[in-house]
């Protein structure tokens, strides 16, 4: 099987399928920055609490909101604190990729661009997938490379306009995000919002 | 959760040289994303004087708060130009947009009018400001991303926090708009 792309949809597809196929090729232009989901499933008691305790969902949404705002300021800001956090964020993420995936550097799996330049991918088991024997990544970015889909497979080629016509079939797949925003929230306390306002006031972010 | 939403035939009008690499597979998942840089809906929208939205937004979509655009009276957009974000919730942006649109409609109805159009100068100033702020943002740095259009400009993202967008859309400002009564259909 071949998955073309390594964005949010591709990552979810790979996570869902890599254990069930003999070989899975991921065709990617460049590596993406990845963030692991802190919580991958919601326990039943938690769902019950959300449904029955008044204001709990509202509180969770509020916490999630301010956590996201804080992260946004830290990743996109230009102040010293933001620069320090960004450096720490990218170092830790890159180290995690190197630690979990063999030959990550030579396979082009460590992102080189500034975090936030393209979409940050939230993953559940993508690094496990990349580290497994079934999954192989194929780099097809740069130098005007293109993918050619033939009847029997996928090729990485340099284009030469004009010529014959090739026909095949492509599955058009849509991935539905089953995660909820509340999955993010238990990692930081609700005081983050206030801290942010203070830090912006001090011009640190 | 995966669902196959369809199959399509593809044609390639290229005759490539010897491939650098070839992998034989029995299924191809086309996870190459959505058409994000074309914000124009697939159906035709015509504004005042026969202006087509497809033309007006072909290169650099200009909208005010992502919800209204000049020359298109009474047309409101959700998740329009510059209402995406690198970290945050798109649903929140949409909620703020809905709040703004409802206020705009109430204003028109209260004035017994039926035409609402954003002032061109307001849109220009707003987008100029966003462009300036975008220059130092991560989205403007060098990488391949669907945030950028063909010429490399970031026309998708709002260069600020969700809180700021909420603040901007919190109250409808009548001075940004032309409100009129039209008798023509």
Instruction: Please report residues of A whose CB lies closer than 8 A to that of B137.
Output: 76, 116
Q: Given pLDDT bands bounded at 50, 70 and 90, which one contains residue A205?
A: low
Using CA atoms, how far residue A125 sits from A25, A37, A122, A132, A175, in Å, is 16, 9, 10, 11, 16
Q: Chain B residue closest to A160 (CA)?
A: B16
Q: Do B24 and A113 touch (CB under 8 A)?
A: no
Q: What percent of chain A has pLDDT over 90?
A: 60
Q: How far apart are CA A131 and CA B57, in angstroms?
A: 43
The pLDDT value recorded for residue A97 is: 96
Q: Chain A residue closest to B84 (CA)?
A: A119
Q: What's the average model confidence in pLDDT over B147-155?
A: 85
Q: Residue B69 in contact with residue B57, Cβ under 8 Å?
A: yes
Q: What is the ipTM of this complex?
A: 0.83
B20: closest CA among A135, A32, A141, A5? A141
Measured in angstroms, the CA of A71 and the nearest CA of chain B are apart by 7
User: B67: which residues sit within 8 A by CB, 6+ positions away?
Assistant: B76, B77, B78, B80, B97, B100, B101, B169
Looking only at Cα atoms, what is the longest distance across chain A? Answer: 66
- Give the residue, A182 or A115, on which the prediction is more confident: A115
Q: Is A155 on the interface with B (CB under 8 A)?
A: yes
Q: By residue range, what is the domain housing residue A11?
A: 2-201
Q: Do A68 and B9 touch (CB under 8 A)?
A: no
Q: What global pTM score does this model have?
A: 0.81
Instruction: Please report residues of B whose CB lies closer than 8 A to that of A9.
Output: 31, 33
Instruction: Please report residues of B whose CB lies closer than 8 A to that of A41.
Output: none
Domain count, chain A: 1
Element (H or E) spanning A62, and its range?
helix A56-76
Q: Could you state, in order of their start, the residue ranges of all structural domains in chain B?
A: 48-180
Q: Is A164 on the interface with B (CB under 8 A)?
A: yes
Q: Is A159 on the interface with B (CB under 8 A)?
A: yes
pLDDT at position A42 over 90: no
Partner residue facing B141 (CB), from A16, A114, A173? A114
Q: What's the average model confidence in pLDDT over B118-124?
A: 96
Q: How far apart are CA A152 and CA B86, in angstroms?
A: 38
Q: What percent of chain B has pLDDT over 90?
A: 61
The pLDDT value recorded for residue B145 is: 86
Instruction: Please report residues of B whose CB lies closer than 8 A to that of A83.
Output: none
Q: Residue A4 in contact with residue B29, Cβ under 8 Å?
A: yes
The pLDDT value recorded for residue B167 is: 97
B48-180 CATH fold? FAD/NAD(P)-binding domain (3.50.50)
Q: Which of B7, B135, B143, B157 would you mutate first to test chain A, the one with the most A CBs within 10 A?
A: B143
The pLDDT value recorded for residue A22 is: 92
Chain segment A151-195, per-residue pLDDT in tens: 778 888 776 554 333 333 343 333 333 333 333 333 333 345 455
Chain segment B91-114, per-residue pLDDT in tens: 999 999 999 999 999 999 999 999
């Amino acid at each position: 099987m071949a998955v073309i792309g390594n964005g949010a949809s591709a990552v979810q597809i790979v996570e869902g399928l890599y254990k069930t196929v003999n070989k899975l090729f991921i065709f990617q232009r460049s590596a993406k920055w990845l963030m692991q989901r802190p919580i991958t499933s919601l326990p039943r008691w938690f769902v019950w609490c959300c449904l029955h305790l008044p204001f709990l969902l509202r509180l969770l949404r509020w916490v999630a909101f301010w956590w996201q705002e804080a992260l946004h300021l830290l990743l996109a800001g230009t102040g010293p604190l933001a620069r320090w956090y960004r450096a720490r964020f990218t170092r830790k993420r890159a180290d995690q990729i190197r630690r979990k995936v063999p030959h990550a550097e030579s396979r082009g799996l460590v992102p080189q661009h500034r975090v936030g330049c393209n979409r940050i991918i939230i993953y559940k088991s993508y690094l496990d997938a990349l580290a497994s024997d079934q999954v192989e990544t194929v780099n097809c970015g740069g130098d005007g490379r293109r993918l050619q889909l033939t009847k029997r497979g996928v090729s990485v080629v340099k284009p030469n306009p004009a010529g014959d016509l090739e026909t095949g079939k492509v599955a058009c797949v849509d991935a539905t995000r089953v995660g909820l925003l509340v999955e993010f929230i238990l990692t930081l306390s609700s005081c983050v919002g206030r801290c942010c306002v203070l830090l912006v006031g001090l011009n640190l972010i | 959760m995966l669902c196959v939403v369809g199959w399509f035939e593809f044609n390639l009008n290229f005759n490539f040289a010897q491939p650098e690499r070839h992998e034989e597979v029995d299924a191809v998942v086309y996870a190459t994303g959505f058409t994000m840089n074309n914000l124009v809906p697939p159906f035709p929208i015509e504004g005042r004087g026969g202006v087509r939205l497809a033309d007006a937004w072909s290169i650099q979509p200009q909208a005010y708060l992502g919800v209204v655009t000049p020359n298109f009276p009474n047309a409101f957009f959700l998740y329009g130009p510059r209402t995406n974000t690198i970290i945050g919730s798109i649903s929140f942006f949409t909620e703020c947009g809905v709040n703004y649109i409802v206020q705009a409609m109430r204003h028109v109805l209260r004035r017994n009018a039926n035409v609402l159009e954003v002032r061109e100068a307001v849109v220009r100033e707003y987008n100029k400001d966003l462009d300036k702020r975008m220059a130092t943002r991560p989205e403007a740095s060098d990488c391949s991303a669907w945030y950028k259009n063909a010429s490399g400009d970031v026309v998708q993202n709002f260069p600020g926090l969700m809180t700021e967008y909420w603040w901007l859309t919190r109250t409808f400002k009548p001075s940004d708009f032309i409100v009129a009564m039209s008798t023509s259909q």
